[in-house]
Structure 1
Amino acid sequence: MKNRNFLSSAIKLMLLLVMLSLDSCQVQDDWLNVKRDKSDISPKTLDDFQAVLDNSNTVNKGYPMLGLTGTDNVYLPDNILGSVTEPERSAYTWGKSIYLGAPTGDYSVPYVVIEFCNIVLDGISTLPISNTQQAQYNNLKGQALFHRAMSLYNLSQLFCKPFNPSTAGSDPGLQLKVSSDPNQKVKRSSVKETYDFIISDLQNALTLLPQQQQYTTRPSKRAAQGLLAKVYLSMQLYQNALEAATASLGENPALLDFNSDKIKPNETFVFPPYSNQLANEEILYFACGQSMVSLWPVYTIGFADSLLYKSYDGNDLRKTLFFKVNTSGRAQFTGSYTGTYLNFSGIATNELLLIQAECLARNQQPVKSRELLDVLLVKRFKTGTYQKLVSPDNQVLALVLAERRKELAFTGQLRWEDLRRLNQDPVFAKTLSRTVNGMKVQILPNDNRYVFEIPEQEIQLTGVQQNIR
């Protein structure tokens, strides 16, 4: 009980800090400009609750990234492997334990966001809402449902087995917290229940959110449709994923032309900066991942896998815009859509177009799938150098997956998510191998190590079932 009372106090304090540390572009001035006594730290109006979700430093940043370190897109040389954190080193070498008993933001940060969402959902449910406030109320509730769904989806990609229809009903899922009461104990659901919950939140959000938002840090209807497409793809429900992606993109999806003057190839950050979110028309929802030694180029420790880097054509602008090559010939990813060193972890039209292309290929429509790849790639190659793809129909799916890896190589931890789901298909299952300090290590398809252990503190506090690695 002592730990839970402390947690309740900590959350109240965190809410106060949230209210006092909002991004300047989204500050709710009316709330902040009123003097309040010490007991008045809880949000009480729709504007107050919007301010909770507008704290982008918590809600839109710190997305889990550790899965990416365990993929074939990342290379950490032996001589500097000891410079990364223990969890990063364990993820890279597929160790039996990732966290070694230590706390982790991979687990706690999404649950903090979920707590914020539940505070908003519980709080606004008791407010008297006038007719003139209904649109604001709907928008706010839809945002909270989206953020909760996104947090649960990110957690599921690290702490649950990949969705498998034959075992999802019995595989351990997540703790599905729907109350803002931190003292409430919640057992683990099943993987099926976890995905059903995520889909339900998103379907409800779709009835509430506007088509567009003032800021891309606030999710829109199109962003919710995009996240729904990602969820269905991970479930291998390809027709559903196709419909959701198509609904999100509309008839004329915006794509950033890598030849345009919006791109600054000679500057440190080649893509439009976060401070000018609307400059990158591809971004539907803005979020970025945790800063990690193995992935953050400022540390000059982590690199792109050499085979991945060599897979880009010489006229493919992604080769020079995504990567910078150091004096030793190693390529380092620097081309994030955040316009900073932080990896983009949000939702953008390039990913959704590739979801469309993959689903069309799987639904026996290879010609349409190939045409979508042409639409994307002509904007990625130097002007006048791109030649339309020519390939047998039975090879289009492999082509789409190869382009998906190149286009989204360091976007969130998408490569980790793809390995997990594709390992269930013998055609695309892949054994990953590395040589670390002279020793060969590997991870087989569908290995238990594709599921991270739940932090020990959570096990001690709630007694939930631990994952087996």
Structure 2
Amino acid sequence: MRKIITGPLLGCIVCMMGIFSNSCKKQDKFLDAKPNQALNVPATLADLQRLLQNEDVFNSQPDPGLGQIASDDFLVQDEVLPDLSSAERNSYLWSKEIFDASVTQSVDWNLPYQMVYYANVVLDALPGIKLTDNEKSSYQQVKATALFYRAWAFYGLVQTFAMPYDKDNAANQPGIPLRLTSDLNARPGRASIVDCYARILSDLKAAQPALPERASTPVKPSQIAVDALLARIYLAMGDYPDALTYANACLARFSTLTDYNTLNSPGTTNIDKGFLSEDIYHSCLIGYSVYNIRRDMYIDPVFYNSYDPNDLRKSKFFTILDKLPQYPRFVGSYDYMGQKYDGLAADEIYLIKAECLARAGDSTGAMEMLNTLLKYRWKTGTFTPYSASGADEALLLVLKERKKELLLRGLGWADLRRLNKEPRFAVTLRRTVAGVTYTLPPNDPRYAFPIPDIEIKLGGLTQNAR
């Protein structure tokens, strides 16, 4: 069972695999008190390794999900909205206020910072660990693993609680608090967006050399996962040359794609197989209840019908329920338990490379990457390779297929944020509920979610403009 922080980050010590005990304090007294002195302190490298092997914390639904709900990937029947939590309902309707006054915390904030806390406990403890001669290489790998997890959490937070990266303004816009110590009395303010991305990138690049090239299982980081994550981050920053560099580096060592002809239908995974062969790093979005509304969360039928009948994603990603009218429901998660996968997989990296090549004017290379991916998605012998008359047409084709391939993978919100910076791709999102139309214009301040009020109060943070 995954562990959720039950109080504000500044006022809790999370339960750590039995090594730490829960020691939540009353909010108004915590900053005047020291953490429980009876807590066991990790004393060996093995202790620290165990902390980093907690899949409940690092892989099973720890990633912010409000952006996914606010994206245009799915729709919800009107009559279901009142049954959702306030955070889900308000995110779906792009409300100015997301959290009701009675809600003092957010799992989108707490769970990533829980990851950060675990990572910082390891990083703070490492200098005091006495090593045997055989543990020196393991020491570096433990440090690298903690840096990877911290960077992963920071990136999810900055994509949720800060405005999109803009190279001209990033130095002057508030990002997130960069908690670089496990001392819960430390209260860092909000770093600038440019400093947030600089920290994320530097942590990843520092981690990469000490990680294994390939992990023994996708729930662990690797050098290949670092390349894939750097490609994703640079794409979100609009730095397409660097995104291409790391996409190339990733695909040079890992280019496996899963042939959808070999998969059971519906769905893209199966409990007997566990991880897909193209899975590089496995992680999932926070499991909001909206994803479990089988008959009332659905995919726009127009979008569903944009898939060719021979495109296996139409049957692997969706199922049609018996409710009338019949709405498609998404079942294509890369997580075999059906959680909303937002990890790193080879298909995303092919699409990053294809987009970057198109933006660089190489339409032939872009189509080669796109076609390499799509031939594994269509019924055997039915795929006709795409062609483009030029770079602009290639880019449009790639972005169209990116949306179809990466639906409900936690990437739609980041794509809206970055593409809205380009007038030719900027969109105003619209939803009509009970006869009322709600809109989200490009580059609106609501592309940064509000920080929970308790964190504003305890951390002395500035709130996002809404």
Contact 1:43 1:49 in 2 (8 A): yes
**Residue pair 1:16, 1:42 contacting (<8 A) in 2 also:** no
Aligned runs of 1:64-143 on 2, under 5 Å?
A: 64-101=64-101, 102=103, 103-143=105-145
Question: C-alpha displacement at 1:341, in angstroms?
Answer: 2.1
Partners of 1:18 and 1:135 in 2: CA distance: 24
**Which is further off, 360-369 or 211-220?**
211-220
Q: What's the offset of the Cα at 1:100?
A: 2.3
Matched residue, 2:178: 176
- Between the aligned partners of 1:293 and 1:432, the Cα distance in structure 2 is 23
- Offset, 1:301: 2.7
1:271 equivalenced with 2:272 (yes/no): no
2:283 maps to 1:287:
yes
Q: 302, 305, 316: which one pairs with 1:307? A: 302
Q: Go from structure 1 to structure 2 and tell me whether the alpha carbon gap of 1:322 and 1:222 turns closer, same or farther (over 3 Å shift).
A: same
Give the counterpart letter for 1:304 in structure 2: I
Any idea what the Cα deviations from partners look like across 1:147-194, whole Å, max 9, x if unmatched? 000000000111011000110000101101111100111011100000
**How do 1:196-207 and structure 2 match up within 5 A?**
196-207=198-209
Offset from partner CA, 1:50-93 (integer Å, 9 cap, x none): 11111111111221112111122111111222222111111111
Contact 1:271-1:337 at 8 Å conserved across structures: yes
Q: 1:348 to 1:270 in 2, by over 3 A?
A: closer
Amino acid at match of 1:149: A
Equivalent position amino acid for 1:15 in 2:
M
Distance change in 2, residues 1:205/1:251 (3 Å): closer
Determine the C-alpha separation between the residues in 1 that align with 2:292 and 2:412: 17
Structure 2's unaligned 5+ residue stretches are 1-6, 22-36
> Retained in 2: the 8 A contact 1:296–1:342?
no
Q: Which residue of 2 aligns with 1:26?
A: none
The 8 Å contact of residues 172 and 190 in structure 1, kept in 2 or not, is answered as: yes
Please give the alpha-carbon distance, in whole angstroms, between the structure 2 residues aligned to 1:251 and 1:377.
20
The match for 2:316 is 321
User: 1:309-352: CA deviations, max 9, x gaps?
Assistant: 12211111101111111122101111110012211111111111
User: Matched residue of 2:114: which SS?
Assistant: helix
Evaluate the alpha carbon distance shift between residue 191 and residue 314 of structure 1 in structure 2; reply closer, same or farther with a 3 A threshold.
same
SS of structure 2 residue aligned to 1:441: strand
Q: Show the counterpart of 2:408.
A: 410
Q: Which moved more, 1:214-223 or 1:379-388?
A: 214-223
Aligned 8 A contact 1:174 1:191 in 2: yes
Please give the per-residue CA displacement for 1:253-284, whole angstroms capped at 9, x wherever unaligned.
00000001xx1115xx54133x754x511111
Q: TM-score, normalised by structure 2?
A: 0.90
Tell me by how many angstroms 1:16 deviates: 4.8
Alignment length (residue pairs):
440
Give distance in 1, aligned partners of 2:59 and 2:254: 27
Q: Say which of 428, 433, 436 aligns to 1:431.
A: 428
Q: Deviations over 1:342-380 (max 9, x none)?
A: 111111111111111111111111100001110000000
Match of 2:27 in 1: none
What SS does the corresponding residue of 1:14 show, helix, strand or coil? coil
The within-5 A match list for 1:258-407 is 258-260=260-262, 263-265=263-265, 269-273=267-271, 276-277=273-274, 279-296=275-292, 299-327=294-322, 328=324, 329-393=326-390, 394-407=392-405
1:117/1:145 contact within 8 Å kept: yes
SS at match of 1:440: strand
Amino acid at match of 1:285: Y
Give the structure-1-normalised TM-score: 0.90
Match of 1:41? 40
Q: Distance in 1 between matches of 2:425 and 2:8?
A: 48
How far off its partner does 1:296 sit? 2.9
Please provide the CA RMSD for this pair.
2.0
SS at 1:392's partner residue? Answer: coil
Output aligned runs, 1:250-261, within 5 Å: 250=252, 253-260=255-262
Question: Aligned partner of 1:91: which letter?
Answer: S
Alpha-carbon shift at residue 94 of structure 1 (Å): 0.6
User: How far apart are 1:19 and its partner, in Å?
Assistant: 7.4
2:97 alignment partner AA: S
How far apart are the structure 2 equivalents of 1:457 and 1:307?
A: 42
> Are 2:154 and 1:152 aligned?
yes
Q: Is the 8 A contact 2:260 2:268 kept in 1?
A: no
Identical aligned residues as a percent: 36
CA distance in 2, matches of 1:385, 1:18: 55
